[in-house]
Structure 1
Amino acid sequence: MSSSNSERIRTALRAIKDSNVDAVDYSVRTMENGQVVSTTQRIFNGTAPMITNSMKPTDRELFLENGLPNIPFLKEFLKQEGRLHNQQVIKIFSMATKVLRKEPNLLCISAPVTICGDIHGQYYDLLTLFEMCGDPIDTSYLFLGDYVDRGFFSMECLLLLYSYKVTYPGTFFLLRGNHECKHLTEYFTFKRECLHKYDYRVYDAACESFNALPLATILNSKIFCCHGGISPELNTPEDVNRLNRFREPPTRGLMCDLLWSDPIEDYDCGTDDDPAFLLNRVRGCSFAYTFRGVSQFLRRNNLLCVIRAHEAQSSGYRMYKKSVDRRFPTLFTIFSAPNYLDTYRNRGAVLKYSQKSMNIKEFSSSPHPYWLPNFMDVFTWSLPFVGEKVTDVLLSVLNICTEEELLEEELLEEASLLDDELFHNF
């Protein structure tokens, strides 16, 4: 049956080929304004060609004479979706790891500083953040973690942030988020992105750098900052310095809670009769802390508030219930990834803290290059569609000729084969 169908398809194709149909040049297109253009040539010659994977920078271009990254070059090169050599990426990651290892688990820094929340691989929004808040050459920054996963440009974010860290180690600070670990990056997108753009050695170097990231910060001796929040095991901020942070985060304990805990959903309705901590059933690990739990921690350590990230907010930030004695918000959440996952339509925000004031600045998402899910190429992504359309084409080919025409063509072909056979036998 399949052999018969194949013969019928070949017969139909010959009939199409022999028909008088004008040839069409599909490489030529007429625009709406009547302009005729060729699809094999660039229409806008004034625009610089896109950087390709083969156009990788030399060490002389990427690194300054002092060995530090050439940040203006790197920032623009990554913006154009350029790729570095594997060894260049590993060098930047190794430099950052070396600097981060020297820092304590608990950083102590002073204002003024700009505090930023989750970035999640949104490189083009990260560039907007720096444009809005100031170049790190004269602006101090504290990032609260979650630089990778979810977005499609985690490698670019990490390269730029680490380059700033090694260039301005005393004013540019990076904390660890719950996504800076092997477990989550294997499950979400960072490992896949890393292997798509580079290789396993680069991924291993990135994971090694994650283990070196500090866990928390005391700001101006008044504010406790971390990615997730407080813990039942956190009596004083100094407890953080007793941890061994150079490892994968455990599934329970203080280190886990600093990265994973959340405020309870009805935090602002909390009273002094509530338990300080509840199991965090939303995350499936760690704890959810209440207004009472945070208030006790602040009073015990003479602190003003807790600033954390870890949760998307429609405005990019949230201020929680004020303390009874100081009438100041006990808790802030800062989220710096606008239009999270390209679906949330949320704003991004940062908190600018000076000696006398706190100001929150919001910003919207920026356009970015489009990637197919899971970094698929267009051919892999379109295979199911192509298969369906090829089937439709074959059915259409069979329907071009009537049954009588196909039968006539088959009889003519059989007669021709018979004549050839008789001729050879003769």
Structure 2
Amino acid sequence: MSILSREQRPWIYAMSVCFALITIFTFTAMALLEVVASTSLHGITIKWLQTIIDRLKWWSPGHCQKLFLEAELIELCYRAREQFWKSPIKCDVDAPVNICGDIHGQFEDLLAMFELTGWPPEKKYLFLGDYVDRGPFSIEVITLLFAIQVLHPDKIYLLRGNHESRPVNMQYGFYLECRKRYSEKLYDAFQLAFYCMPLCAVVSKKIICMHGGISEDLIDLSQLEKIDRPFDIPDIGVIADLTWADPDDKILGYGGSPRGAGRSFGPEAVKKFLAMHNLEMVVRAHQVVMDGYEFFADQKLVTIFSAPAYCGQFDNAGVVMKVEVPEVPKDTKSSGIDKNILQCSFTIFRPDRDPNGYAKAKK
């Protein structure tokens, strides 16, 4: 047996460390290649996306940091951005569809809603924005929705809310969550996706949906096609109104907003807007409503909110609004049925809490 000199020992140690690092890198690369080798979808893999979804289905607060590498989440943001860029600013969605309002980082409630109303792609969903901020698990919320959206783009539609904007989510929790759990690089990647999201959707050519509200400046829906992406949310104009505006029963037409962005609008403004665009109803989110939904303007507009026990400071319910074409009874003559009628119903989730203090949705 030969004995190494003092001069040789550091070199042997360095070689051992290098060999160990190469071995770790090789096995990591092999694992990634195994995922990439599965069926591809626009340069990304179905298996990888499904793995993200499956991990989040079995999520728990104590293991949330161990689920994903930062590079994996950044890649997902890039793929979601590509998907948003290809979709129109105004999405056309056919009924049946489940419509959801604000989630605000309440991931356990999002999981509970999917469990009770059905998971995509078996059920189709339209989300009206405000996925992040205020709640504790914004990263999980937006990661799950992005993964489903990239995997099933015709089964889930994600609109942009006022919190999907850097000036807002820099202040209300999302920035700090990203920086604390990962880094500012991940936060920036999410913004790239947010700034390309659609602004509104029309369900079966009858119901217009957005996060905020209607706009006096939106004379023709084709105006939206001229918006260049990526885009920021200004304080005034169509984009501001679609993400910030609120109904106000104290006015008839349009007025200023105490929020400092977007405008307020009254019941007459709603009816005039619907008549102008040959639509029948407005569905929007943006405000906490205690029963999960609240009608306005003779039921021509409904506000929905999907974060029960919001921020732990309210006793509000959450809701999922279902829009569907009613079934025609077999013994009814089809000639007497209007096939263009849509039926709306609400699944209400009452606030509940587990022993650890986390909010949970209860039907």
Query: Does residue 214 of structure 1 match 2:195?
Result: no
Name which of structure 1's ranges 313-322 and 149-158 shifts more when overlaid on structure 2.
313-322
Measured after TM superposition, the shift of residue 294 of structure 1 is: 0.7
* Corresponding residue to 2:307 among 337, 344, 349: 337
What SS does the corresponding residue of 2:64 show, helix, strand or coil? Answer: coil
1:318 aligns with 2:300: no
Distance 1:303 1:261 in 2: 19
Cα offset, 1:97, TM superposition: 1.0
What per-residue deviation string (whole Å, max 9, x for no partner) do you get for residues 37-96 of structure 1?
xxxxxxxxxxxxxxxxxxx9x758988923131122233146642431110111111111
Equivalent residue number for residue 64 of structure 2? 81
Match of 1:188 in 2: 172
What residue in structure 1 maps to residue 317 of structure 2? Answer: 347
TM-fit CA distance, 1:238: 2.0
Answer yes or no: is the 8 Å Cα contact 1:182–1:207 preserved in 2. Answer: yes
1: CA distance, partners of 2:76 / 2:313: 32
Deviations 1:132-188 (A, max 9, x none): 110102100000000000001000001100011011101110000000011011111
Residue 271 (structure 2) aligned to one of 295, 299, 323:
295
Deviation at 1:314, TM superposition (A): 0.4
Instruction: Answer with 1 or 2: which has the greater Rg.
Output: 1
5+ residue gaps, structure 1, are 1-55, 323-328, 372-426
Match of 2:6 in 1: none
Change (3 A) 1:370 1:196: farther
Q: Once superposed, which parts of structure 1, at least 4 consecutive aligned residues long, lie more than 6 Å away?
A: 60-64
Q: Distance in 2 between matches of 1:99 and 1:341?
A: 31
The alpha-carbon distance between structure 1 residues 303 and 137, as it changes in their structure 2 partners (threshold 3 A), is same
**8 A Cα contact 1:311 1:335, kept in partner:** yes
C-alpha spacing 1:64/1:221, structure 2 compared with 1 (3 Å): farther
Residue type of the partner of 2:324? S
1:307 equivalent among 269, 280, 283:
283
Give the alignment's Cα RMSD to 1 decimal: 2.1
Q: Secondary structure at the match of 1:177?
A: coil
Distance 1:77 1:303, change over 3 A: same
- Indicate yes or no: 2:54 matched with 1:72: yes
Q: Measure how far apart 1:347 and its partner are.
A: 0.4
Report the secondary structure of 2:111's partner residue: helix
The change in CA–CA distance for 1:85 and 1:182 in structure 2 (over 3 A counts) is same
| Alignment partner of 1:363 is 2:349 | yes
Secondary structure, aligned partner of 1:360:
strand
Instruction: Determine whether 1:279 maps to 2:279.
Output: no
Matched with 2:86 is: 102
Instruction: Name the SS of the counterpart of 1:142 in structure 2.
Output: strand
Work out whether residues 217 and 238 of structure 2, in 8 Å CA contact, stay in contact via their aligned partners in 1: yes
How much does 1:218 deviate? 1.0
Given that 1:123 and 1:153 are in contact with CA atoms closer than 8 Å, whether structure 2 keeps it comes out as yes
Paired position in structure 2 for 1:223: 207
| 3-state secondary structure, aligned to 2:321 | strand
Q: Is the 8 A contact 2:235 2:260 kept in 1?
A: no
Alpha-carbon distance between aligned partners in 2 of 1:63 and 1:226, rounded to the nearest angstrom: 36
Where do 5+ consecutive residues of structure 2 fail to align?
Answer: 1-27, 40-44, 327-342, 359-363
CA contact (8 A) 1:105 1:245 kept: no
The structure with the greater share of residues assigned to strand is: 2
CA contact (8 A) 1:216 1:240 kept: no
Question: TM-score of the superposition, structure 1-length normalised?
Answer: 0.67
**C-alpha offsets along residues 202-241 of structure 1, whole Å, 9 cap, x if unaligned?**
1110000101110001110001110001111011222222
The superposition leaves residues 366-398 of structure 1 with CA deviations (integer Å, 9 ceiling, x where unpaired) of: 547669xxxxxxxxxxxxxxxxxxxxxxxxxxx
8 Å CA contact 1:148–1:180 kept in 2: the answer is yes
Amino acid at match of 2:264: A
Moved more, 118-127 or 87-96: 87-96
CA distance in 1, matches of 2:105, 2:32: 25
**1:203 aligns to what SS in structure 2?**
helix
1:256 aligns with 2:232: no
Whether the 8 Å contact between 1:150 and 1:188 is mirrored in structure 2 is yes
Sort the Cα spacing of 1:361 and 1:198 in 2 relative to 1 into closer, same or farther, 3 A.
Answer: same
Q: Residue 268 of structure 2 contacts residue 297 of structure 2 at CA under 8 Å; is this kept in 1?
A: no
Q: How many pairs are equivalent?
A: 301
Counterparts of 1:145-156 in structure 2, within 5 Å, are 145-156=129-140
Using the alignment, how far apart are the partners of 1:301 and 1:341 within structure 2?
A: 36
Letter matched to residue 210 of structure 1: F
Compared CA separation, residues 314 and 221, structure 1 to 2 (3 A): same
CA–CA separation in structure 1 for the residues paired with 2:108 and 2:36: 22
- 1: CA distance between counterparts of 2:56 and 2:303? 31
Q: How high is the TM-score relative to the length of structure 2? A: 0.79
What amino acid does structure 1 have at the position aligned with 2:310?
Answer: Y
Once the 2 structures are TM-superposed, how far is the Cα of residue 109 of structure 1 from its aligned partner? 1.0
Residues 1:59 and 1:119: Cα distance change in structure 2 (over 3 Å): farther
